[in-house]
Structure 1
Amino acid sequence: ATHTLLLPNQVDETLAAHFAELGVGTIAAYKLWCHRHGLSTALDKTPQERSEEQALFAALQPSVDPAASKEHDPRRAALIGRLFNGELEDEKLNDLLSRLRVERNALADNPDAQKALGRLVLHVEKYGHLLRPMPVLKRLGANRANTYIAALGQLARHHRAWLRPVEEWRPDTAKERPQFQSLVRHLLARYEVPAPMDTAWLQGHTEEAYQQQEWFKHVAGGQNLRTAGVPMKVTKRMAHIFMQMNHLHHTLLQALRIAQAEALGGDSHCSWYVAATPLGDSLENEDFWISVIHFYVNNYPMLHRTYFLPVYDYIRHQKYLPQQIAQPDGTQIEGPPPQPNFCMKGRSAAKLLNQVDQWHETLSGAEDVPLKTWAATGLAGFRLEEYDEQLKCNLVWTIYELCTSQQLQTEGRIMGHCVFSYTDQCLAGDTSIWSLRAINADAEDALEKRVLTIAVDNHQRAVTQARGKFNMALNQRERLEKRRRAGSLYVHLLRESARILRLWSDKVGLVQKGT
């Protein structure tokens, strides 16, 4: 109570405390409050009467929902209610209400969906943080569809499939992404759904979005991804990998590509490099592009990550893009793609990368590109002569640094992998490439055998990759076909090369990270 405003000698401490409970500061204000509520305006009331007045005051206060969002604004909610009652069709509105009007009008042919959207938006306004206009996912671009506001409109389209009343939903976090995950699963899911599938609701009113939303509901209902109608071959392993994915920044199609590449044998890095190309945005011509994904998986890591996109660009240009053909009069007509029958069967990695480089040189106008060379790192090479019990001969092991683009090309051609793709990294001084070889010291005119190609991160002084013929790894059981192609002698040398690599690494002070 503000005692200075009370008339002297009329208010004791008890009455002053009563005024404070009712939120009044003067006798006049107290009497006016009593008059408005049909009560006696006398000051000398019993404790029971004052208790009843305090109870009435408390009952008249607006109820506060402890679960309501801090962003909840009753005036904003009232405007949203009017909007969905059709009262603000021609009014100039702020950004949020304008966006909501667009979503409501997009459902003009479905009044029930409009009503469902109104319920959904009002509930989210009170309890959620999903009415901000910022784009959700960088990959999907800065457009209206890529917002949670638009996603609510997509959810309203499926209101007949809602499993639970929207009014029962309460978020357990203030973060937007988990809130939306929780909301869409509250409405549509009986079973776990991988997080990347949420992006089906962020792509607007398109046939592709509608199709992906059906995949979401199929999986959310406990059905197998393999029977969802996804236009690609979904193996059991791929479906299993996909169902474990919970990365919040992958789109649904990217997640499918990642699962596909990992199911084919790619590691997490390789699968992401595949998904980061335009293959992570489309499933068109899947029967062909699966062969390119096989190429990526089979040649990584000797196929450097910087080649994933150029290889895609080159193949798409050769197989699918019409070419412009110059005419004698200087005009151009549209002709068929350069190689409409392009296929991956029988293509060596080294030859394909050469074609990719030549194509890019043609695009940039470069001709007669000179031999590329770079300075040696200064790391010592390696030589060791020892007796091999299994081969019954003396072997000389050597490790050399490769310092020209031609040496990388030759290494890749003989070894059947894509080490040539590291040329730019070697030129920049970031990476050095080394060749581990063996020769029979007891045989006359014996030929040196290339056993292992090694990539070293020059800054971290670390061996990051070590691959044998046909991209064979040191510590994995390779497919029988690879072992047959390499031969039993080579497979033995490859097994021994792991020990030689460790000896050299210890000698020159390298750590092994990705072998």
Structure 2
Amino acid sequence: MIQRRQDAERERIQRCEAALRRTSLPARAAPDFDRALDDAMRGHAGETVREPHTWQPRMKSRDAGRLRLAAARHLFARYPVTPVLERIWQDDAGLAADEIRLRRRWYVIAARGGSLYKEGAGAWLTRKEVHAFLQSPAHLAFDTAFWLAIARSFTSDPATALRVARSKIARAPRGDIVFWREVARFFCAHTAPVETIDDLCDYLQACRQQDPGYCLAGRTLPALLRRMHEWHRDIAAIERIEALRRRAFGRAARGPAAPATWPGSPLADWEWAPSTREAKARGERYVVRQLKQAEDLVLESRAMRHCVSTYAGKCLAGQASIWSLRRCVQGRVDRLLTVEVDARNVAVQVRGFGNRLADALERNVLERWAQARGITLR
């Protein structure tokens, strides 16, 4: 009986110890100070102002970011640095490797007391803007502080500068800073809410992609807003044409990146250069090009101020093809006429800007094109 009691007590103790092992927390690892030093020194080993072995931290934190920042302060900091620059040691998620190196480099220069303008930031910022950047409020992100420094050089109103810095301008690629500085200057002179600036930034980015030489010189805010709304209407028209195309061609056109195009007429594009005696300018030539993309059709409709974009359904069904007559002189392209050709190669409609009729010179060019391509002109 005594033996059974001792065995039962031993089993109870074992069950209690097993339950404690299941519920007790594992021992916390000690802070990895050596790793923090290695991470902070990577790429900057020859720029330290203190020896790594002299670091005697009294930190209980196991957070790698906080340890890395403390190590960077020990290794490089002769002077206090804005938290805008310090934050790169704590969190670099989502940043490219080149951007991480740049921001850490800027921290090391500023912390050691070097000239940030001469040693790194002078490629993008003026001396005044570098000074403003180093004095940025602690709560701002790096890109916001960067563009706030630029905006403050264009306006004395802090609220206007902050709106510009918090807009999509702050996400602009730094390699295209010349253009986006111009955009920042524009919005400092023409105040607008952040939401309006963001919408216009999308429009300006699209303009920049289509025309690398696009600039804001001589433009006004109402004119930009009007053109932005036209651009949105064009996008909506292209989406409607794409929906028509998918319905017309079925599953074969349902790829997520399928362009809004159609086969069009088998007739080839045409080009003619007048003789030296007939030409009105040196290098003059005329081009007739078929429009087989929704974007081209919508741009033609907007440029010529007529409704040719509504003919997309006929183009998709193979009932018509749309052609654009253009005059090219020394790099300049002028749209002259838009021509609708039916399935029997008959030009059923010819319209210019605002639905005007063709003049004598344009009719002469059309007749040459029609004769070369076997098209009947009404």
Q: Normalising to structure 2: TM-score of the pair?
A: 0.47
If you compute each CA radius of gyration, which structure gives the higher value, 1 or 2? 1
Length-normalised TM-score, structure 1 = 0.35
Larger RCO (alpha carbons 8 Å, 6+ apart): 2
